[in-house]
Amino acid sequence: MRNDAEWRTLLLAGVCYAVWLLLAFGWADLPDILRVLLLIPVITLHSSLQHEFLHGHPFRNQKLNDLLISPPIGVLVPYLRFKSCHLTHHINENITDPYDDPESYYLDRDIWAAIPPLLKGLLIANNTLVGRITIGPALATIGFLRSEFARAKAGDTIILKVWLRHFLAVALLFWLIGIFGSLHPAAYFVAAYFGMGLLMVRSFIEHQAVEKANQRSVIIETRGPLSLLFLNNNFHSVHHAYPSLAWYRIPAFFRENRARFLRMNGGYRYQSYWEVFRRFGFRPKEPVAWPIEPRKRRGDGA
């Protein structure tokens, strides 16, 4: 253990797993709709913990971190693939690039011009906060699966192994829920879907497409429930500058260096997620087409 404070992360993970077990396999007297609603933020929190663990917490031994946080309770994305893609995302000069950033929601302008109108409408809706929460998980999962299939087809056998293990683990999870729990697996899937949707409240606003890479990550200064649920990733510019900084240290570090971070990120900030909803709940945050010329186009060399 790095220091005693890392027990905060372990304790939070333990609470998350305990509540998840009670909701998925116990509390049979609760209505299913209530259990689904309660499972949504628990699954979101687990995803936030996956993000914390892949950045080297709470143990120095990363294999142990991966083992503890890899159970696929979020269903839609294998942890090891999320880990690999997210670490690539942390090459800061590539943030939002539609080719080099695997977490980008933008498209190359030429590709955007060529896609069908119906898909354009869906992607524009996905650039509103309500759209991101509701259709965002489906669009993101389909897009990610297409990308993964292309990589596997090109000969990446590791991806095939990761996804095979993931599918088997999810099948086992659904079987266990169906046998030992009282919640229907389909209801659990709904919770997992909107657990990702709730997580996308964070990812919706955390980056913008501007020329200077250090101005692409947001600061949201709220310290409300969503800040805890996202493990202080609302201070996203801080996280990208110091990715190994533990979640519980981020707010104080930001307060001590607030002027420097806001100067560094060009003042890209919001006071709260409520402000984000007021501005972008039903209005696109930005165009889908990436406004910057990509350094690398599909088919070009690295």
Quick: pLDDT tens for 64-84.
Answer: 999 999 999 999 999 999 999
Angle value at C-alpha 223, between 210 and 286, nearest 5 degrees: 25
Mean pLDDT of all residues in 254-260: 97
Calpha distance 285→123 (Å, rounded):
12
User: What average pLDDT does the structure give for the chain?
Assistant: 93
| DSSP output for the chain | ---GGGHHHHHHHHHHHHHHHHHHHS-TTS-HHHHHHHHHHHHHHHHHHHHHHHTT-S-S-HHHHHHHH---TT-SS-HHHHHHHHHHHT-GGGTT-TTT-TT---B-HHHHHHS-HHHHHHHHHHTSHHHHHHTHHHHHHHHHHHHHHHHHHTT-HHHHHHHHHHHHHHHHHHHHHHHH-SS-HHHHHHHHHHHHHHHHHHHHHSB---SSGGGSB-EE---SHHHHHTTTTTSHHHHHHSTTS-GGGHHHHHHHTHHHHHHHTTT-EES-HHHHHHHHSSS-SS-SB-SS--SS-TTS--
User: Taking 50 as the threshold, does the pLDDT of residue 1 lie above it?
Assistant: no
Q: Which of 32-41, 155-164, 174-183, 225-234 has the lowest mean pLDDT?
A: 174-183
**What pLDDT is recorded for position 180?**
86
12 CB contacts (<8 Å, ≥6 apart)? 45, 49
Mean pLDDT of all residues in 10-33: 91
Paired residues of 217 in beta bridges: 207
Mean pLDDT of all residues in 131-147: 97
CB atoms within 10 A of CB 235: 29
The domain spans of the chain are 4-280
Confidence class for position 30, pLDDT limits 50, 70, 90: confident
User: Taking 70 as the threshold, does the pLDDT of residue 5 lie above it?
Assistant: no
**What pLDDT is recorded for position 28?**
65
**What pLDDT is recorded for position 178?**
87
**What pLDDT is recorded for position 298?**
44
**What pLDDT is recorded for position 29?**
77
User: Taking 50 as the threshold, does the pLDDT of residue 302 lie above it?
Assistant: no
Which pLDDT tens digit goes with each residue over 262-301? Answer: 999 999 999 999 999 999 999 999 999 999 976 655 444 4
Mean pLDDT of all residues in 186-196: 97
Q: Which residue has the higher pLDDT, 213 or 223?
A: 213
Mean pLDDT of all residues in 85-105: 95
User: Taking 80 as the threshold, does the pLDDT of residue 104 lie above it?
Assistant: yes
- Helices 79-89, 32-54: crossing angle, 10 deg rounding: 50
Residue 54, both tokens: 């892949």
Q: Which of 30-34, 134-138, 166-170, 186-190 has the lowest mean pLDDT?
A: 30-34
Calpha distance 93→101 (Å, rounded):
9
Global pTM reads: 0.93
Residue 163, both tokens: 């996804």
